[in-house]
Amino acid sequence: MQSCPLCLDSSRVLTTAAYGEYASVYCPACQLQFTSPMRHPGWEFYRDYSHYEMRARESDPAAGDWMASRDWRFRTFFSLCSPSSHRRVLDIGCGEGKFLAVARRKGFDVYGIDLDPRAVELARTLRNLRNVRAGDWEELAQVHGWNNFDGITLFDVLEHLATPLRTLQTISGLLRPGGIICITVPRLDRYPRLFDPQADRPPHHLTLWTERALTILLGRAGFGEVRVVKRPVMVEDFLLHTMWRTQRVVRKFRLAENPAGHDAQPSGGQRGSHWKLLLRKAILESCRPADWLLAASRWGEGFTLFACGIKPAHQ
Ligand SMILES: [Zn+2]
């Protein structure tokens, strides 16, 4: 039996589900759900994962930037940090650079790294982000040196890591004393439940988090002043998860028709993207009153947790 990656205990952990060679295991002490074995599938796995396939084909940076500017995770970061307090920011798992582009516009000095070289290429070509690189977080200290960043972000990255505690301990060394780390993760107790439960299954998500588990993690990694915030449920959550599920079904049919693969997709191009963006804006803006009602009714507790911690000055 795999021991808990946070408390290292293996005597109390419970297997809750099995998916082929992987099992989901729960530690009651930490309230963390993890995977046995804790093995990262490699970035090639994401190439065949429909959610990321869609993302990598993105050809309209204007739509991506607009979505990023209203993203709750990013807005929460900007409510805590400004270029005057945290100028130099590193985004680990930066993807195609949506957060970095918004942060740069606000005056931050931005850096990024991602395992997926195609996403990094998109960040460079679509958004003209120069300080982004493809590679593993373990190389970061060699490239940027220690104690060099004012803020580090991991937006929906932690749940993909095979060694979350060791990763955070290393990342802590990249921050200057007093620097901030901001993390978002999917909640273990997502309520309402996902329309697409496959998104949370291993090896896609190796861990699922609770407020308690995140607080323990950040404390053990040496961070102080830890805070955890729940993201309110929004209408776009339902739209997004419905889209993922539909996409998975469509992709299954497409692969059945054309087993040669996923590369034979039409590129879409820029034509029509302006109208797509307008339509997307119209749909999401029309959801705003429903978002306010959802937040006011306190129904549901959100899909995502945002945690932050400060690196103590004496480290
Ligand atoms: Zn534990």
Distance from residue 210's CA to the centre of ligand 1 (Å): 12
Distance from residue 103's CA to the centre of ligand 1 (Å): 35
β-strand pairing of 224-230 with 22-27: unpaired
CA 249 to chain centre: 23
For the record, the structure tokens of 280 come out as: 């997307």
pTM: 0.84
Distance from residue 5's CA to the centre of ligand 1 (Å): 7
Long-range contacts of 24-27 (CB under 8 A, 24+ apart): 24/201, 24/202, 25/1
According to DSSP, residue 233 is labeled: P
Distance from residue 12's CA to the centre of ligand 1 (Å): 8
Distance from residue 17's CA to the centre of ligand 1 (Å): 17
Q: Residue 111 pairs with which residues in a beta bridge?
A: 90
Distance from residue 151's CA to the centre of ligand 1 (Å): 28
Residue type at 75 in one-letter notation? R
Q: Provide the residue count of the chain.
A: 315
Contact between 290 and 151 (Cβ < 8 Å): no
Distance from residue 162's CA to the centre of ligand 1 (Å): 15
Distance from residue 16's CA to the centre of ligand 1 (Å): 15
- Digitized pLDDT (tens) for each residue of the chain, 315 residues in all: 689 999 998 889 999 999 989 999 999 999 999 999 998 887 777 766 655 655 555 556 777 787 788 888 999 999 999 999 999 999 999 999 999 999 999 999 999 999 888 889 989 998 999 999 998 877 888 888 888 999 999 999 999 999 999 999 999 999 999 999 999 999 998 776 666 677 788 888 999 999 999 999 999 999 999 999 988 777 777 777 777 777 777 777 776 666 654 444 444 445 566 777 777 778 777 777 777 777 777 666 678 899 999 999 875
Distance from residue 7's CA to the centre of ligand 1 (Å): 4
